[in-house]
Structure 1
Amino acid sequence: MSASAPESEALATEVPPVSDSQTLRRAFKDLRDGFAQRELWLSLGWQDIKQRYRRSVIGPFWITIATGVQATAIGILYAALLDIPLDQFLPYVTVGLIVWNLINASIIEGSEVFISNEGLIKQLPSALSVHIYRLVWRQLLFFAHNLVIYVIMVVAFGVWRDLSWASLAAIPAVALLVLNAVWVSIVFGIFATRYRDIAPILSSMTLLLFVLTPIMWTTQSLVAQGGAVADRARIAELNPLYHYLEIVRAPMIGQPQQLYHWYIVLGITVVGWALALVALRKYRARVPYWV
């Protein structure tokens, strides 16, 4: 028997099932599934370091040596130019470079995270976030190696005398940096995969931000000069990376901590993660085709 007219019209107007590939639920699922595969990205991140320094005697400690040499050269030069005691300025520069390396890698390598993992994305059935976690884990290992310089500096320059229980604030500050590194890699990674001009633009921008961020210079030294120079020094407050740097560096070298830096970083973190979730929701399924 054929269906009646009302039944035929109902079948014809029935709405087809909607795919949930572009839903927040799938975005959160990707993040959860990727984290659940931690044995994979922990192993891949460690293999990245071993591969980079294969046949090297001291391995990833070359990063530590390079950072130490750079910090020493900048510290000696700019301490003389800015007329700041070396035992005060060198710890400031050293911790600044250590933290900056983590921030810089999150932006530069994060923008190429999916492009550089094209083979794995097309062949390995895993969550897209696995590659993000792998990148952040690798940079954390480099950060841990560079902390050797910090320990030496704390002893050599007597920084330990200025440290207190408040210095433990550096631990949640680093955790906050890691959270930001994840969303930065997601957002820049997705859009740089679609638009390949974004990666070189970000590379140029980070170079500019390195100069504009108080790493080789201090806002205090400029403010002390007074006048127009002091007013220009406050422009540093418009640089978001300055606030990320301060929440880690200040407690690590025993300097007074300003609460507003935390408020700004927390605000950017919330907005950044909102952007990351939107990007994952809308474009996660397209990344394998873009690479």
Structure 2
Amino acid sequence: MSEPAAVDSRAGMGRSVYRGAFWLELAASWRSPEFWALSSWLEILAKARKSRFGLLWLLAPSIVYIFGLGSFFAGMQGRSIYQFAAHIALGAMVFRTVISAVINSAGVFSSNVSFIMDGHVRLTDYLMQSLAKALFDMCMYLPATIVAVVMFRDVHWTGLLLAPLSLALIFINGLWMGTIFALIGARFNDLGQLVSNISIFLFLLTPIIWYPEQMPADNFRGQFMRFNPFFHLVTIFRAPILGEPVGLSTLVYVGVMTVVGLVAATFLYRRYARFVPLWI
């Protein structure tokens, strides 16, 4: 079992699957988005059709966070909503995207047990499905975020040009996080509930509804906050757009986290992917 063995040649719409070969399976999933992209979108549409207001409910969280919480906390910090809305919008959009990928991944194998046991779909298809849902969640934040950024009136265009690269880096980190959490979630079914419960703590720990300078790095709380990966992922995307400096520590943290995370995800997938059907 040391080398990945080819399994059912019917798997993945007629393409062979090498269980445990993370990058081979991922590349095959990327070339065949018919399952993971379409199924994610159809699931969102199915939920929306059950509601009278449909997709408008998916826009509601962004409006509440950005202009509801934004107005409240802007006043507490002596800032206008025109200044604070962009800060909270860009931060909340990144946080929502990453945490959505993690939460969706934690239970993705268990929720698709019948398809996995049938053996016709790659495990990476479900990881991509979780990322696709996270992408759609991000898209639901975009309208309110664009309004908030326009209100800011001091947007740095170089930051906007760098935004696609930052988002790509964020989704790469979402990929390795989702892979690891999916494998652990297959073994321990309660992981998704645990992540959902601590997501509020992580949201408050990340400088989204407050500014990072309110938590200086020269004390324990400031150091603890800067150990939080969401802080650095938010900063690397938001700071250039708002004309704020990106510290060297953030660049190093994100670079090391990305490389180490991808290596860990590759190793764990190769080692444990074959056990997923047994665990679920």
Give the 3-state SS of the residue equivalent to 1:202 in structure 2: helix
In structure 2, how many angstroms separate the alpha carbons of the residues matched to 1:259 and 1:58? 45
Hey, what does 2:134 align to over in structure 1? 139
Hey, what does 1:98 align to over in structure 2? 93
Q: Choose from 191, 198, 203 the match for 1:210.
A: 203
Question: Which consecutive unaligned segments of at least 5 residues does structure 2 have?
Answer: 7-17
Q: Would the aligned equivalents of 1:53 and 1:59 in 2 still touch at CA under 8 Å?
A: yes
Q: Would the aligned equivalents of 2:101 and 2:133 in 1 still touch at CA under 8 Å?
A: no
In structure 2, how many angstroms separate the alpha carbons of the residues matched to 1:171 and 1:246? 14
1:288 aligns with 2:277: yes
Question: Which consecutive unaligned segments of at least 5 residues does structure 1 have?
Answer: 1-16
Report the Cα offset of residue 276 of structure 1.
0.9
What one-letter code is carried by the residue in structure 2 that aligns with 1:210? F
What one-letter code is carried by the residue in structure 2 that aligns with 1:201? L
In structure 1, how many angstroms separate the alpha carbons of the residues matched to 2:2 and 2:124? 24
Give the 3-state SS of the residue equivalent to 2:111 in structure 1: coil
Deviations 1:26-72 (CA, angstroms, capped at 9, x unpaired): 33322222222212212112112111212546533422222112222
1:169 aligns with 2:162: yes
Report the Cα offset of residue 182 of structure 1.
1.2
Hey, what does 2:187 align to over in structure 1? 194
Q: Percent identity?
A: 25
In structure 2, how many angstroms separate the alpha carbons of the residues matched to 1:280 and 1:234? 32
Q: Choose from 59, 68, 79 the match for 1:64.
A: 59
Q: Would the aligned equivalents of 1:166 and 1:251 in 2 still touch at CA under 8 Å?
A: yes
Q: Choose from 261, 264, 268 the match for 2:257.
A: 268
In structure 1, how many angstroms separate the alpha carbons of the residues matched to 2:244 and 2:253? 19
Deviations 1:137-160 (CA, angstroms, capped at 9, x unpaired): 1211221221111111223x2x34
Hey, what does 1:40 align to over in structure 2? 35
Deviations 1:86-111 (CA, angstroms, capped at 9, x unpaired): 32122111221111111111221111
- TM-score w.r.t. the length of structure 1 is 0.83
Structure exhibiting the larger radius of gyration computed from Cα positions? 1
Report the Cα offset of residue 281 of structure 1.
0.7
Q: How many residues align?
A: 269
Kindly report which structure 2 residues correspond to 1:100-115, keeping only aligned pairs within 5 A, or say none: 100-115=95-110
In structure 1, how many angstroms separate the alpha carbons of the residues matched to 2:49 and 2:210? 36
Deviations 1:96-141 (CA, angstroms, capped at 9, x unpaired): 1111111111221111111111122123512110011111112112
In structure 2, how many angstroms separate the alpha carbons of the residues matched to 1:28 and 1:284? 13
Hey, what does 2:77 align to over in structure 1? 82
Query: Could you say if the C-alpha distance between residues 49 and 252 of structure 1 is closer, same or farther in structure 2, counting changes exceeding 3 Å?
Result: farther
Report the Cα offset of residue 253 of structure 1.
3.1
What one-letter code is carried by the residue in structure 1 that aligns with 2:181? F
In structure 2, how many angstroms separate the alpha carbons of the residues matched to 1:18 and 1:92? 49
1:50 aligns with 2:53: no
Hey, what does 2:268 align to over in structure 1? 279
1:26 aligns with 2:21: yes
Kindly report which structure 2 residues correspond to 1:205-284, keeping only aligned pairs within 5 A, or say none: 205-223=198-216, 232-284=221-273
1:148 aligns with 2:155: no
Deviations 1:226-258 (CA, angstroms, capped at 9, x unpaired): 9x8x77434421212100111111133343333
Query: Could you say if the C-alpha distance between residues 115 and 256 of structure 1 is closer, same or farther in structure 2, counting changes exceeding 3 Å?
Result: same
1:122 aligns with 2:106: no
What one-letter code is carried by the residue in structure 1 that aligns with 2:175? V
Report the Cα offset of residue 209 of structure 1.
1.4
Q: CA RMSD in A?
A: 2.6
Report the Cα offset of residue 214 of structure 1.
0.8
